[in-house]
Amino acid sequence: MTDSADNNFDLVILGGGSGGYACALRAVQLDLKVAVIEKDKLGGTCLHTGCIPTKALLHAAEVADAARDSAAVGVKTTFDGIDMKGVNGFKETVVSRLYRGLQGMIKGAGITVYEGEGKLVGTDTVEVGGQRVTGKNVVLATGSYARTLPGLEIGGRVITSEQALELYEVPQSVVIIGGSVIGVEFASVWKSFGADVTIVEALPTLVPLEDPTLSKQLERAFRKRKIAFKTASRFTGVEHHDDRVTVSLESGDTLDADLVLVAVGRGPRSEGFGFEDQGVTVDRGWVPTNERLATNVPGIYAVGDLVPGLQLAHRGFAHGIFVAEEIAGLKPMPVIDSGIPRVTYCDPEIASVGLTEPQAREKYGEVDTYEYNLGGNGRSQILQTAGLVKLVREKDGPIVGVHMVGARFGEQVGEASLIVNWEAFPEDVAQFVHAHPTQNEALGEASLALAGKPLHAHA
């Protein structure tokens, strides 16, 4: 089809997930003419097969645990089991409501959406459905896919997180290959729903990218919940049977289960989009950028899971906003991965921002740390959760890492992010009054203690 003025834009975005749609919305605010090309649904993995639906399942799991354990607080209930049709209905209601809202925002902002699979056919041109759409700038926002391992073919009783979200019955037993975020979240859900769960993780700890203290705390909590796990264990093979699947490990051990969930992370979705044909550097599937999120080709940017680093929806949002402002000439501050908050929504929740203790020691040499145990936090005791808040500071300097574990602690990561990103000293945080009784108070207590004036904590 011949190009027309209608197909010329200031900004063409290939992909309508977290990074792509955030970029589009911010760009329109800055008076740029924007097109988004999306082959599936706006919102991408996060809204439809990732963050939102998994957290809906986790909420259902929390309700199940509350019903099962209510006698501990003097409430009489009966727990009759999990209705997966009802759980999925709840999940789909949440997703569809948010999806309609996003569609309304995109339409209201006047963003042109092309439905179909786009391909980069020029350094300023994307082809979709026989049309050529040109932009003064192009943003690559094609996201990621669920990885697997060599010899671990997806199909039958071997599934990824995407198929796990569509199950209409609770499996009796599951082996989860991978003990990072996706693996421990699904382990938590299925255990609460009544399944027997075993996690297999090749590295020495669960959630291996987190501070070692959090890994130990999570492992302790999972043992208490009777979630089995084998760390420093490598998968070697899988054998399918009519009614089960058998997983073989490097140690010679075998594990039988109804299902195997492959949760070994997500890979960049870059193949088949014509990136390399137009000179864009692609490294093992990733599209590397500089700190301004520019690729090696002038006028082409990349955002979100396509760019090496943390794979988080809110990183995608931040990338999208940054690129829109960069193109508009606002010279925004770069998005630094170490300053991005991270939350794992298993029970107990893990929330962190900044450097782990080993990372801080490598960077600064001397550091000070403090761990505030939630045994001293009134609200945590009411919620019957164990855990801690750990602060890591440069010796005589600012707090460079905050690491938390406990029920609902994902909601406390906002203040933690401000502490780290504003380079606050413990004394700075200690002077602010934290409401009592709240779990947020634990951040204040930890800061008081690290500042040398503990209140509800030992020095």
Say how far apart CA 158 and CA 149 lie, in whole Å: 12
Strand-pair partners of 354 = 401
CB 179 within 8 A of CB 262: no
Residue 309 region by backbone torsions, left for phi larger than 0, else alpha for psi between -120 and 50, else beta = left
Least Cα distance to 60 among 227, 189, 191 occurs for 189
Buried-state track 30-57, b at ≥16 Cβ within 10 A, e below 16: eebbbbbbbebbbbbbbbbbbbbbbbbb
DSSP secondary structure of 217-252: HHHHHHHHTT-EEESS--EEEEEE-SS-EEEEETTS
**Rounded-to-integer distance, Cα 255 and Cα 200, Å:** 10
Q: Residue 324 and residue 180: Cα distance in Å, rounded? A: 32
Say which of 59, 319, 436, 456 is annotated catalytic: 436
The answer to whether the CB of 22 falls within 8 A of the CB of 312 is no
- Residue 281 has which token pair? 């550097």
Give dist(CA 141, CA 2) in Å, integer. 25
How crowded is the C-beta side of 416, counted as CA atoms within 13 Å? 32
> What six digits make up the tokens of 167?
């199950």
Written as one letter, the residue type at 276 is E
Q: Confirm whether 456 is a catalytic residue.
A: no
Radius of gyration of the chain (CA): 24
User: Which residue in this structure is represented by tokens 């009411």?
Assistant: 382
Strand partners, 12: 35, 138
Looking at the annotation, which residues are catalytic?
Answer: 436
